[in-house]
Amino acid sequence: MAPEIWSLFILISLFLFRKGQASSSLKNPILSRLRRAPESKEESKKCSYTFLVPEQKITGPICAARGYSTDKDRVTRLDVAAVRDLLSKQRREMETLKLVVDVDGNLVNEMKLLRKESRNMNSRVTQLYMQLLHEIIRKRDNSLELAQLETRILNATADSMRLASRYRDLEAKFAAMSAVVNNQSVVIGALEERCMQVYSGRHDHPPLGPPLVQVVPENIPVKVAPFTNEIQSDNTQRLARERGSRSGPSPTSETLEVKQPPQRNFSAEGPFRDCLEAQDAGHITSGMYLIKPDEAERPLQVWCEQDIDNGGWTIIQSRKDGSVNFFRNWENYKSGFGNIDGEYWLGLEGIYRLGRQGDYKLLVELLDWMDKKVYAQYDSFHLEPESEGYRLRVGVYQGNAGDSLASHNGKQFTTLDRDKDAFSGNCAHFHKGGWWYNSCGQANLNGVWYTGGVYRSKFQDGIFWADYGGGFYSMKSVRMMIRPID
Ligand SMILES: [Ca+2]
């Protein structure tokens, strides 16, 4: 056979070998047969493969087995090189595939994780959905409760309106009853007086009461709670009991010196001529101050009111809680008594001395049991000396409490032991205080402190200001204060 044909044969074999290796494994039948070919003589005599060679003039079948062993070494080297090349290439591909598989594995893991997360998310979403459902149900329940509450509130409002209406009715009834009580007291007083007159025609007569102050029912301040239809408690009786007295208010001759004041609201400076001078000196706080009016023998402790009506007011009388007994004798009323930060009477002599050192005006501040404040102001005020019985001199009235001092203007001061009033008996005895009584009068600011306002008593002995509440309405608190005229 010609060498060209062998070359062609080898190339074709190589080509087939490579092709077979690329498409399958190392168990290539061509290669195995090529290798096995020289081992068997019988086999070597047979034509294993038939190739059609287009070139040259070969037209018949060609036996490839013959002469194969002669080029065996060269083919094998090429094969090995090719196989190695192929192996390395496949190894690279394997590595690439391995990398791909690794990446795929990671992806699978990630997918698994994502699936797991997705499952968790799903369960969480389900949970949230359930919660939402619960919330919706709960809110529906709440709205039902709200509706029920609204209904209850409406019912309560209706109830309160009914109660308010009843309260107003009761208030009106109470006012009417108070007026009746006052009128009956006046009638009873008048009947008692007539009885006494009839009785006195045959017997030695006991002391008569003074004519009662006429009632001013439209002015009676109404207070429903605490409501009591009984006779109001007489604080003087309580005080008397506390002091060991047997019964009823009794005059006291004990000299109640002004107590040592507590440290608060107390100014150690002074003494000043009055509270206006203290204010002018920079003491703008209401409290206790020492004053010493011109010609006064000793300094006095007083409460200075620096807050109302521009301040500078010297308090000469204060009632607020019934803690001090005002049923006292002349000496007490002359020198003064009580507690400066509570109830007190400055003293007639002190008030007289104050009035002598300038032109003063008087302000009477009244507080009823509805905590309503009313005022009576007089544009001038002073007392005459003791030799004139500390006669009261007040000027022109203005205010909203009514002028109940009018009938007392120009009257001397009367106490239980010094009767200077115009009444046949002693007004201090009936009104249980000391005052510039006429016969006896329209105001009794040193009377008995009753709680609650309207009171019942045989005589009009409460702290009354007749033009405001009538003779049977006792004020809750009262202050009398003076200040130099601007
Ligand atoms: Ca008299």
DSSP conformation letters of 40-69? -HHHHHS--------STT--S---SSTTGG
Expressed in angstroms and rounded, the spacing between residue 252 Cα and the centre of ligand 1 is: 20
pLDDT of residue 76: 77
Expressed in angstroms and rounded, the spacing between residue 429 Cα and the centre of ligand 1 is: 10
Expressed in angstroms and rounded, the spacing between residue 426 Cα and the centre of ligand 1 is: 4
Expressed in angstroms and rounded, the spacing between residue 427 Cα and the centre of ligand 1 is: 6
The token pair that represents 446 in the structure block: 């040193």
Task: From residue 356, give the alpha-carbon distance in Å to each of 384, 436, 484, 485.
Answer: 9, 19, 11, 13
Asked if pLDDT for residue 80 goes beyond 50, the answer is yes
7 falls in which pLDDT band (50, 70, 90)? Answer: low
Q: Which helix (H) or strand (E) holds 78?
A: helix 72-200
pLDDT of residue 250: 47
Asked if pLDDT for residue 17 goes beyond 90, the answer is no
Expressed in angstroms and rounded, the spacing between residue 360 Cα and the centre of ligand 1 is: 29
- Which of 42-46, 196-200, 212-216, 353-357 bottoms out in mean pLDDT, i.e. has the lowest? 42-46
Read off φ and ψ for residue 439, nearest 5 degrees: -150, 65
- Which of 146-155, 173-182, 223-232, 339-348 bottoms out in mean pLDDT, i.e. has the lowest? 223-232
Asked if pLDDT for residue 484 goes beyond 70, the answer is yes
Read off φ and ψ for residue 217, nearest 5 degrees: -60, -35
Q: Which helix (H) or strand (E) holds 316?
A: strand 313-319
pLDDT per position as a tens digit, 387-404: 999 999 999 999 999 999
Expressed in angstroms and rounded, the spacing between residue 419 Cα and the centre of ligand 1 is: 5
481 falls in which pLDDT band (50, 70, 90)? Answer: very high
Expressed in angstroms and rounded, the spacing between residue 445 Cα and the centre of ligand 1 is: 19
Expressed in angstroms and rounded, the spacing between residue 326 Cα and the centre of ligand 1 is: 19
Provide the mean pLDDT of the chain: 80
How far is residue 457's CA from residue 290's CA, in Å, rounded to a whole number? 39
Expressed in angstroms and rounded, the spacing between residue 341 Cα and the centre of ligand 1 is: 33
Mean pLDDT of the 311-319 span: 96
Expressed in angstroms and rounded, the spacing between residue 389 Cα and the centre of ligand 1 is: 13
pLDDT of residue 66: 52
207 falls in which pLDDT band (50, 70, 90)? Answer: low
Mean pLDDT of the 339-365 span: 96
How far is residue 79's CA from residue 92's CA, in Å, rounded to a whole number? 19
101 falls in which pLDDT band (50, 70, 90)? Answer: confident
How far is residue 433's CA from residue 444's CA, in Å, rounded to a whole number? 8
Expressed in angstroms and rounded, the spacing between residue 179 Cα and the centre of ligand 1 is: 30
263 falls in which pLDDT band (50, 70, 90)? Answer: very low
Asked if pLDDT for residue 185 goes beyond 90, the answer is no
pLDDT of residue 444: 96
Expressed in angstroms and rounded, the spacing between residue 300 Cα and the centre of ligand 1 is: 31
Expressed in angstroms and rounded, the spacing between residue 454 Cα and the centre of ligand 1 is: 27
- Which of 105-119, 182-196, 410-424, 469-483 bottoms out in mean pLDDT, i.e. has the lowest? 182-196
Asked if pLDDT for residue 252 goes beyond 80, the answer is no
203 falls in which pLDDT band (50, 70, 90)? Answer: low
Nearest to 50 by CA among 32, 59, 60, 62: 62
Expressed in angstroms and rounded, the spacing between residue 348 Cα and the centre of ligand 1 is: 19
220 falls in which pLDDT band (50, 70, 90)? Answer: low
pLDDT per position as a tens digit, 135-167: 999 999 999 999 999 999 999 999 999 999 999
Mean pLDDT of the 431-437 span: 96
Ion ligand 1: residues, CB within 5 A, are 419, 421, 423
pLDDT of residue 77: 78
pLDDT of residue 26: 44
User: Would the pTM count as exceeding 0.75?
Assistant: no
| Residue 237 three-state SS | helix
Residue with the bigger pLDDT between 251 and 406: it is 406
Number of Cβ within 10 Å of residue 360's Cβ equals 24
Expressed in angstroms and rounded, the spacing between residue 363 Cα and the centre of ligand 1 is: 28
Expressed in angstroms and rounded, the spacing between residue 403 Cα and the centre of ligand 1 is: 23
- Which of 35-49, 111-125, 204-218 bottoms out in mean pLDDT, i.e. has the lowest? 35-49
* Percent of all residues in the chain with a pLDDT value above 70, rounded to a whole number: 71
Expressed in angstroms and rounded, the spacing between residue 425 Cα and the centre of ligand 1 is: 4
Expressed in angstroms and rounded, the spacing between residue 423 Cα and the centre of ligand 1 is: 4
Expressed in angstroms and rounded, the spacing between residue 260 Cα and the centre of ligand 1 is: 36
Expressed in angstroms and rounded, the spacing between residue 329 Cα and the centre of ligand 1 is: 15
Expressed in angstroms and rounded, the spacing between residue 256 Cα and the centre of ligand 1 is: 26
Expressed in angstroms and rounded, the spacing between residue 442 Cα and the centre of ligand 1 is: 16
pLDDT per position as a tens digit, 268-310: 777 899 999 999 999 999 999 999 999 888 999 999 999 999 9
Expressed in angstroms and rounded, the spacing between residue 438 Cα and the centre of ligand 1 is: 8
Mean pLDDT of the 343-371 span: 96
